[in-house]
Structure 1
Amino acid sequence: MEWIMANWKTATVKEIVWWNKRLFSLIVQAQIEPFKAGQFTKLALVNEGNRIARAYSFVNPPSHADLEFYLINVEDGLLSPPLGQLKAGDQLQIASQASGFFTLDEVPAAEQLWLLATGTAIGPFLSILQNEEVWDKFKTIHLVHGVRKKEDLSYRDLINQLMERHSQLKYVSLLSQEKNLDGLNGRITTALEQKSLEQYFAVQATPNNSQFMICGNPAMVKESCQILLNQGFRRNRRSEPGQITVEQYW
């Protein structure tokens, strides 16, 4: 995520949803400028005159009035722990203008769209999947979510609802630290290299039929990108369209 120069607005907490001891969603209400699905903004708290700010992607689609963000409660973090302690009615600051290019208008149309995310980086994909544009642009969409344990698989109800409404959406989880009875085991990078994802969905991904959007920690993004490059895919650039679009998320 690249930093943005912020014009700060006041946001009011509507709800905080704790998924487990580490993961929570912060839902706020604020008057901000329109944004695109897949973009991010900055949230901030002021402590003793010092503004502490971090970038977070929207989970909600642009059409929703409530603004939702998916966070990990970082131990000894400067912002996530106090954000997690907020209550309904409390206030924080939000940048009025969103930023980022991890959006569908940067991705060429294709038969298949692969959305690869680790941890809280599934957030921008949920925003994209709740927007109608994606369903007209791709015939099949594969959502892949890699986490450590089953308890980290948040938003399953929302994903199931999206799958019920859109038969073209396919989903698989990967667990790296415990047995997965409903998906795959291991890491996304390994599954990508060994083509386990293609085997799971019974499809073949080629540069002629697929687009990849990858969102996660920098190491995962770098390794996944290199694996796809080795398989003949290319980075997607405005001057030279390819098949790989990435967002580093931490």
Structure 2
Amino acid sequence: MAQWMTGEVVENYAWNNELFSLRVRVPEPFEFIAGQFVRLGLNDGEQRFQRAYSLVNGPQEPILDFLVNRVHDGEFSPRLHDLRAGQAIEVSQPPSGFFTLNEVPEGKSLWLMATGTGIGPYLSMLTTRIPYERFARIHLIHAVRYSTDLAYRDSIQQWCDAHPQQLHYQPIVSREDSKGALRGRIPALIVSGELEAAVDDTLDSDAQVMLCGNPEMITDAKRVLADKGLPKNLRRKPGNVTVEHYW
């Protein structure tokens, strides 16, 4: 059963009017595997509002980091959006989830495909040595609506600079043209071959793909990847596509 600890907001960083990173200090060391999630909670008199969020920070980093998109008619994200440094927030422990590299079979290339805030688990993974030790080629693919939704670009660029022959970042923007970005949706760009051309690699039997984000993207991407001979990865039957049902 999950327990709760009280953390302190140290920063609420706005990427744009709706997308923000909530950074939280907790009173004791917090151990987790990159890719896992916790629940954040806020008490409002008689009830606790809570929701699951992936940890964006690396396991070795002391400040917990969460990427959040405000849903205006939601019960919880607007409350998070209004938090400021010094305010309290509840954090569940222990962390949960199996969307980790421990669950991904061996391969030559690793494709980290996300929409929106679904990039969070991948950012945590990329702070560790694990992906670079296991895969010759790593492609971080982030699909958003507008270029201002492309968060953490400075950190991503630092990782790309540190692993120039290994890590490739490919943004995708659906509602406007953006320099260096593909335009469209991940499943359609797989079907057309544009995604593989952009990263100069092939989605074949040596590829391991992780999908995180919008359920419609995941459903469609699983289908087109299956058509290319890349089945879903299951513990009882290892495959090529590992999925996180993010919401």
- Shared fold (TM-score, shorter chain, > 0.5): yes
Mapped contact 2:29–2:62 kept (Cα < 8 A): no
Write out the 4+ residue segments of structure 1 that deviate beyond 2 Å after TM superposition: none
Residue among 6, 15, 19 paired with 1:19: 15
Once the two structures are TM-superposed, the CA of residue 78 in structure 1 deviates from its matched residue by 1.2
- Residue pair 2:34, 2:100 contacting (<8 A) in 1 also: yes
Identity of paired residues, percent? 43
Per-residue deviation, 1:6: 2.1
CA distance in structure 2 between the partners assigned to 1:57 and 1:23 by the alignment: 15
Q: In structure 2, how many angstroms separate the alpha carbons of the residues matched to 1:204 and 1:77?
A: 40
Structure-to-structure mapping, 1:162-177, within 5 angstroms: 162-167=159-164, 168-177=166-175
Q: Summarize the alignment of residues 108-127 of structure 1 with structure 2, pairs less than 5 Å apart.
A: 108-127=105-124
Q: Distance in 2 between matches of 1:107 and 1:61?
A: 18
Residue of structure 2 equivalent to 1:57 = 54
Task: Report whether the alignment pairs 1:206 with 2:207.
Answer: no
- TM-score, scaled relative to structure 1: 0.95
Q: Deviations over 1:165-210 (max 9, x none)?
A: 1121001111110012212111111111222111112222211x10
- Which amino acid counterpart does residue 184 of structure 1 have in structure 2? L
Give distance in 1, aligned partners of 2:5 and 2:17.
29
Q: In the alignment, does 2:10 pair up with 1:10?
A: no
> What residue is the counterpart of 1:225 in the other structure?
222
1:91 aligned onto 2:76 = no
170, 178, 190: which is aligned to 1:192? 190
Give the match's secondary structure for 2:136: strand
Opposite residue 53 of structure 1, the aligned amino acid is Q
Pair 1:32–1:82, CA change in 2 (3 A): farther
User: How much is the aligned-residue C-alpha RMSD, in angstroms?
Assistant: 1.0
- How many residue pairs get matched? 245
Q: What is the distance in 2 between the residues matched to 1:51 and 1:202?
A: 48
Amino acid corresponding to residue 62 of structure 1 in structure 2: P
TM-score normalised by length of structure 2: 0.96
Q: Could you give the per-residue CA deviations for residues 81-103 of structure 1, whole angstroms, max 9, x where no partner exists?
A: 11111111110101021101000
Match of 2:43, SS state, is strand
Is 1:144 paired with 2:169?
no
- 5+ long unaligned stretches in structure 1: none
Q: Distance in 1 between matches of 2:168 and 2:63?
A: 27
Q: Deviations over 1:56-109 (max 9, x none)?
A: 000001110100000001102211111111111110101021101000000012
